[in-house]
Amino acid sequence: MNGHSRLALVLSITITSTLVHAQTFPFKVVRLVVPFPAGGSNDVVARAMSQPLSQALGQSVVVENRAGANTVIGTEAVARSPADGHTVLISGFTFMSLAALRTKLPFDPIKDFAGVIRLGTQPFVLSVHPSVPAKSIKELVALARARPGQLAYAVNGFGTAQHLSGELLKTRSSIDMKLVVFQGGAPSTIAVLGGHASVLISTVAPIIQHVSAGKLRSLAVTSAERSTLLKDVPTMMESGIADFDLSGAMGVFAPAATPKAALDRLIRRFNLSGNDSRKNQSPLSCRPCYRTGFLRAAPLFDLIDATRDCI
């Protein structure tokens, strides 16, 4: 290759690169990465949002489940993806709580991410297998005290708000229950349905059908107010557990270096698509809360402080 040919090749590559970067976002498929298996609340919300978001952006939107290692695999994949707005994470604050509970992570939840928008909040619910002879939190606490370490409670991952809710209950009521960790809400629910664990702490929507069918018995929700989907189920505080108020927040995160123009467009389009998907989200008991900016997790960090010594 002579000098003129090499110069032409370099100029061609430079021009092509410049044109790609000059393209208006989005110029390719947008990926919504969910660090949990299919069937959980994060996955269902992502899928409910995908079609209206695709219409709002004028580009294809796909949901990609990247489960494993307590959400680390999917979260790291987004942190290491090109910071162009085309790959975002839909998750709660698990990756933040892991940063407080684990000494080493392959990402920094503050430095490596930009918070795009807060999608909504939802309470958690404690349910038991029908074979458990407890019809209330008071009876469950009494049972756990009579059988220390014999009752197992299932959650969707280590360091999740569901996990910390269980530890908070143990601390506040002075009981001992064995933790069983699964890679997602669907597997933990299946385990309790099959009698492999006695207690389940989960989001509300995925277990409604099982409660209605008598396959699970819900004893209390973790929020200050009762769930609109489980109106007959009391709160933890109504059940005698003082100062127990926890709801999970779900949001969208992008790699930290994502250009402001792409972030601003994502914010506008998520807001627009959110209005179209509220009906789809209502069965999730996910209270819409479309707020921009980084997602504050003060209640969760208070919970981490309260339970750190127990984990």
Instruction: Write the pLDDT tens digit of every residue in 69-99.
Output: 888 999 999 999 999 999 999 988 676 677 7
- pLDDT at residue 1, rounded to an integer: 55
On whether residue 85 sits in a domain, the answer given is: yes
Question: Mean pLDDT for the chain?
Answer: 83
The answer on 74 and 156 residing in a single domain is no
Question: Taking the complete model, does pTM exceed 0.85, yes or no?
Answer: no
On whether residue 21 sits in a domain, the answer given is: no
259, pLDDT greater than 90: yes
The two three-digit tokens of residue 84, written as one number: 């162009």
The answer on 118 and 194 residing in a single domain is no
The number of C-alpha atoms within 13 Å of 250 and in the hemisphere containing its C-beta is 27
Instruction: Write the pLDDT tens digit of every residue in 12-47.
Output: 544 444 444 457 899 999 999 999 888 888 888 899
CATH code (residue 97): 3.40.190.150
On whether residue 20 sits in a domain, the answer given is: no
> In sequence order, what are the residues at sequence separation of 6 or more whose Cβ sits closer than 8 angstroms to the Cβ of residue 235?
220, 221, 222, 223, 224, 225, 226, 244
- Residue whose structure tokens are 């099982």: 210
The answer on 260 and 111 residing in a single domain is yes
The number of C-alpha atoms within 13 Å of 164 and in the hemisphere containing its C-beta is 26
- pLDDT at residue 246, rounded to an integer: 86
On whether residue 204 sits in a domain, the answer given is: yes
On whether residue 283 sits in a domain, the answer given is: yes
The answer on 143 and 279 residing in a single domain is no
Residue 62 host element (H or E): strand 61-65
If one compares 294 and 305, the residue with the highest pLDDT of the two is 305
Reported confidence tier of residue 120, pLDDT bands at 50, 70, 90: confident
**CA angle, 183 as apex, 179 and 186 as ends, to 5°?**
95
The answer on 135 and 93 residing in a single domain is no
Instruction: Write the pLDDT tens digit of every residue in 177-198.
Output: 999 999 888 899 999 999 999 9
The answer on 129 and 217 residing in a single domain is yes
Q: Give the 3-state secondary structure of residue 290.
A: strand
The answer on 131 and 77 residing in a single domain is no
On whether residue 227 sits in a domain, the answer given is: no
Among 186, 221, 256, the domain boundary falls at 221
Residue 167 host element (H or E): helix 161-173
On whether residue 235 sits in a domain, the answer given is: no
DSSP 235: B
Among 204, 221, 238, the domain boundary falls at 221
The answer on 112 and 56 residing in a single domain is yes
Instruction: Write the pLDDT tens digit of every residue in 220-239.
Output: 999 999 998 899 999 999 99
Instruction: Write the pLDDT tens digit of every residue in 208-219.
Output: 999 999 999 999
CATH code (residue 143): 3.40.190.10
Any idea which of 68-72, 166-170, 272-276, 291-295 has the lowest mean pLDDT? Answer: 291-295
Q: Show the domain range for 158.
A: 123-221
The answer on 114 and 47 residing in a single domain is yes
d(CA 221, CA 208): 13
The answer on 38 and 117 residing in a single domain is yes
- pLDDT at residue 9, rounded to an integer: 52
User: How many helices (H) and strands (E) would you count in the chain?
Assistant: 10, 10
Share above pLDDT 90 across residues of the chain, in percent, rounded to a whole number: 54
Q: How many domains does the chain have?
A: 2
d(CA 197, CA 128): 9
For residues 91 and 66, the answer to whether their CB atoms sit within 8 Å is no
Report the 10 Å Cβ neighbour count for 59. 16
The answer on 112 and 37 residing in a single domain is yes
d(CA 308, CA 286): 27
> In sequence order, what are the residues at sequence separation of 6 or more whose Cβ sits closer than 8 angstroms to the Cβ of residue 298?
none
62, pLDDT greater than 90: yes
Among 221, 238, 271, the domain boundary falls at 221
On whether residue 37 sits in a domain, the answer given is: yes
- pLDDT at residue 73, rounded to an integer: 94
d(CA 31, CA 34): 9
The answer on 84 and 150 residing in a single domain is no
For residues 141 and 173, the answer to whether their CB atoms sit within 8 Å is yes
2, pLDDT greater than 90: no
- pLDDT at residue 24, rounded to an integer: 86
291, pLDDT greater than 80: no
If one compares 287 and 58, the residue with the highest pLDDT of the two is 58
Reported confidence tier of residue 3, pLDDT bands at 50, 70, 90: low
